Every structure is written in structure tokens, then in C-alpha cells.
Amino acid sequence: MPVDKYEFVMLAPHRPIRVAVTVQYQGKPLAERWVEGLKTVFAAFDRDKDGVLNATEMKRVFSDTSAAALLQNGFYSPFPNDVPTLAWLDADGDGKVSFAELAGSYRQAAVAASQGFAPQAENGQNAAATEELFKLIDRNKDGKLTRDEVSAAEAWVVARDTDEDECLSLAEVVGNSPALARVVPVPGGAGPRGPVGPAWQVAVYPPGNPPEAVRRRLHTQYDPDRIGRLARRNLGFDREVFDRLDREGDGLLTPGEADRWWTEPADVAVTLSLAAKSDECRATVMTDRKTLDARGFTVSQTEPRRLVLRHGRQAIELAVTTASASVARQTSMRQQFLSMFDQAAKGKMFVSDADLGGANAPQYQLLRVLFDPADADADGKLTRSELTEHLALFEAFAAGSVALTPSVQTPTFFQLLDENRDGRLSVRELRTAWDRLSVLEPPDEAGRVEAVTKAAIQPAAFLRLTRTADRNFPTLVTGAAPTPAAQQSGPLWFRKMDRNGDGDVSRAEFLGTRAEFDAMDADRDGLISRAEAEAFDRAARKD
């Protein structure tokens, strides 16, 4: 069965942090999703619908290798020399293959259905983007951003909004900066031997089985005096946890004592649930608020599919997303196969083996490999509907694969301001920018923050749950603003009027009168928020 329990570790500067992660698919355990997927393909293979597979039906079956490749890469690549046979899978020798026998043969595929990957390297453009944006905000060029300087950025919406959507993309803010065209190598990037340096501050792995490199780093990173033992002041654990590990009771952890931490309960437990649509994905903290407070963690969540854990100044973002890229790839592949079919059919409703031309027609080779598996009635004629049905079968099967990918990224100023991570800065995000930036800067002796410096930007840890084919996620928004996502909540009229998808309805978007707008805009900030829209609707229903 696919693995559905993982741990995510961040070796933060002030202490190590572990998060227990339960992975689901549309709220269901991965094992249940896996069995459902196998039953779907088994039913498709079982042409005579007698509940078992005979020798003829076995010709249509995905091999374990092909199924694993499908789950891993998002596209189907049959292996002609790796076709499972009845004799191979018929474990009980009754001359037929049951569902249990087929399911048991998918060992590689079960592993590919749920995987934790090595850390993704940091984007080399992040530092350049921050430098450009910082210079724009820092009007007096003193290397510090004051409240007034940050507040002045709201005026950019009028001056730089070239597409007039009342939001700003990074391209609109900084323009075609030469600095962003250069990819600058950063420490922790992927080298010839994979991620090195800061990238190994994070890892995702099955519970109790951390990578050896991360386990060793725990012993060295928190031992600045190089005494071979870890003191509580350097390790950052609370007294209860440290005393439980310190069996000798001498206030120092030996390597053996420190290694017991990997089997201790995690600091925080979360559930990440992938779904077919991004707005149905969910990231949920399972640890109760009282326990989080006692352990020094805070949680912020601006949307159901993304949450941010903080401990001290360390941020850890956990998100679930269904990217459109893999869907587009599958659509393109389907179109290529269907186009190949149309060329070979030459106007007929089917293609035969003769139409594919054998070795003299290499352009049809991929279709030839699919011919027998897709020919559902085994009549030697492959119809367009049979091919379409077969392509849909492995597309649905591939949709169930999941991947957890960790990363350490130093966020750009743009990303810090972009609270909802939609790749654009809205008017409200710019108005509240100081609130988000100021909490990152250590206060002075009087407990105040008068200005924000670039030193306030600390590396953040990220963990993404995606389909396996979408595991390489972007870490810096560049180019034109993306197409705004449709609002998923709030009154219907509010969602329709919020044309730029920023979560607010501006006066320009509002289709009613000024008096009606003012009646809804309770805080008089020139924007109707979702909460204001809902409050207005509740009051209207009472009347």
C-alpha cells in the first residue's frame, strides 16, 4: 500500500522542528484511494465482466513497470517486453487472475503512488527580486523601510498597473530588470551531487527514518562548541522534552540520547489532503491550540489549502495544490494519440494493424503499442472511442499519485507582501504590508519596530503536497500576472463582481450606485470585503 504517514523536519537556526504529516486524497486514506484506482483499472481489463482476468484479457493489463512510470511521470509509456502474463500473476494456479493477485503484483507502482522527495533547490532569482523591490520602496536609500515608505507603495497600483486589473504582478512592479534575467547561484542550490548546504535543513521521510545526512547535521549544527554533546541552550528544546531525552541527567545529550528525539512525538501534526480541484485541497493542523501554545507555535491560514506554522522567527509553510500543468500535458498527449489515429484511419471509424504500416510506418509506433490493450472487444479493430476510453483510463489512474516535496527558500519581498500567494499584489495586501513586514524585524529595547531591513527576511521552510508529475513547483513569481482565480466563497453577486479575483470588490468593479457601495463598505476603506458583503446580505435577509 502507498505510504500515507511522513515526517517533515526543519533544522531551524534556533532549534529543530518536526511535523507529523498524514496524507490523504479527497479526505480519504491513500490506501482507500489506491484500492479504488486498482478496482477501476481491473474492471476495464475484465472485458467479459466475470470478475477475473483470463489469458486474453491479460494482454490489456498495465505492467508494474508501466504503471509505476505512469504514476511517476504523469504519462503512459508501455513496455512491450514487460507485459504481465497469466502464468506470472496466477499465484494460486487456478488459471485466472483475481483482483487480489493483480493488486499484489503492483509493488513498484505502490511505491510510486506516494513519495517523499529530496529538497528542491532555491531559486537563484529570489535575491535579485528582493533587491529590486527593496530599492523601490526605500525612497531615501538608507537601507531601511519605514511605515511611511511601505504605505506609499499603494500608489503603485495607479502608476504601474499596466493591465488595469487593480493588482500588480512582479513584472509590473520592477519592470524588465536585468537583475531578474540573471540566475544567480545561491548556497544550497543543487550541485552535481544534489542539494547541499542549507537545502539539507529540511527533509521528508517515513516516521523514524530520517536521512543519515540530516541526522548527522543535528549533532553538528547545535553543537557550536564542538564538545560532542548537545546543551539545551543550543538545542532549543523545552525542559520537558530535553529532560526526557537526557537519561544521564547531566544537562547534555550524547549522540545516542539525541537520536531518541527522532522517535519522540512530533511537535505538530497536520493532515494534507489532495483533490482533483485546487479549491478542494485541504491543509489542516490536527494538534490542539492549547498544545501548540505550550510548545511556542502559532498557526496562520488564509485559505484552506495552505497554512503557515511559526516558531519564533522561523516560518514553515505547508500547502496542497493541484497544478494545471499535468492536466495540460495529459490533454496534449491525448490529442497527439487521437491525431495519430485520425491520420492512420484516413476517414474510417477504426484502424487495423495493417493501417499502422508495421516497421515501415514509425510515426504510428506508439499507437501500435497501445493497439491490443485499447482494443476492448478484441476484434482486431481499434475504434476512436476505444482509444479515447483507454487514454482516459490511465489518466484517471495517474491522478492518484502524490508527492511531498520540501524546500528552503529565502522569500522575496514580493512573496512576503503577496499574502494569498496568487502572484499579484492587491490594494488590501499593499495597505496591510507594514503589519506583515514589521513582525519579521526584531524590536528595539523599547519593544518597538521603527523600520524594516533586509536582514528581517529569514529563510522559510516549505512542504508541498502535489500530484507526482507536478512536484517541481515555482518559487518566484515572474512575468505577467496569472489569470485570477474565481472566488470560491461569499455571496454570488460578490464573486461575480470581483473580476480580478483579489477577494475585494472595488468601486470600479461594483455595478451598483455610489450610495449602495457606501452602505456595504462599513469601514470606509474603498473596498467591499467578503465579510462586509456577507454582513450586508444577512442584514438584508432580516429586513
Rg (CA), the chain: 28
Cβ distance 317 to 460 under 8 Å? yes
Task: Give the C-alpha separation, 270 to 5, whole Å.
Answer: 10
Cα separation, 430 vs 154, whole angstroms: 5
Residue 407 is inside which H or E element, if any?
Answer: strand 402-409
Contact 267, 295 (CB under 8 A): yes
Strand partners, 20: 7, 269
Going by DSSP bridges, is the β-strand pair 114-116/145-146 parallel, antiparallel, or unpaired?
unpaired
Give the pLDDT band of residue 183 (cuts 50, 70, 90): very low
Nearest CA among 7, 60, 4, 2 for reference residue 316: 7
Long-range (24+ apart) CB contacts under 8 A made by 364-370 are 364/340, 366/337, 366/340, 367/337, 367/340, 367/341, 369/78, 369/80, 370/78, 370/337
Beta-bridge partner residues of 356: none
* pLDDT > 90: percent of the chain: 20
Q: Does residue 405 contact residue 464 with C-beta atoms inside 8 Å?
A: yes
- Domain locations in the chain? 126-184+411-457, 208-263, 492-542
DSSP one-letter code for 360: G
* Contacting residues for 245 by C-beta, under 8 A, at least 6 apart: 237, 253, 257, 258, 260, 261, 264
- DSSP 3-state assignment of 543? coil
What does the CA dihedral 285, 468, 7, 474 come to, rounded to 10 degrees? Answer: -70
- Would you state the cell numbers that stand for residue 116, as one nine-digit string? 517523499
CB 128 within 8 A of CB 430: no
Closest CA to 33 of 121, 114, 134: 114
pLDDT (tens digit per residue) in 269-301: 999 998 877 778 899 999 999 999 989 998 888
pLDDT tens, residue by residue, 93-121: 888 899 998 888 888 889 888 888 888 77
In this predicted structure, what is the pLDDT of residue 514?
A: 92
Q: For the segment 10-42, what is each residue's pLDDT rounded down to a tens digit?
A: 998 889 999 999 999 888 898 888 888 888 888
- pLDDT tens across 229-260, in order? 999 999 989 888 899 999 999 999 999 999 99
Element (H, E) at 58: none
- 102 to 43, 62, 85, 90, 402: CA distances (angstroms): 12, 10, 11, 9, 21
Look up cell 481499434; give the residue.
Answer: 382
Check residue 120 and give its pLDDT.
77
Instruction: Lowest mean pLDDT of 28-42, 170-184, 185-199, 442-456, name the range.
Output: 185-199
Percent of the chain at pLDDT > 70 equals 87
DSSP category for residue 196: -
Q: Are 497 and 510 within 8 A, CB to CB?
A: yes
Helices (H), 399-498: 413-417, 427-431, 433-438, 492-497
Q: Write down the CATH number for the domain with range 208-263.
A: 1.10.238.10
pLDDT for 447: 77
Q: What is the pLDDT of residue 480?
A: 41
- Closest listed residue to residue 218, CA positions, set 244, 200, 245, 205: 200
Q: What are phi and psi of 502, to 5 degrees?
A: -90, 0
Residue 516 CB neighbour total at 10 angstroms: 13
Structural contact between residues 161 and 168, judged by C-beta atoms closer than 8 angstroms: yes
pTM (2 d.p.): 0.71
Q: With cut-offs at 50, 70 and 90, classify the pLDDT of residue 148.
A: very high
Phi and psi at 146, nearest 5°, equal: -90, 170
DSSP single-letter state for residue 343: H
Angstrom distances, CA of residue 489 to CA of 34, 67, 285, 446, 484: 31, 38, 21, 42, 15
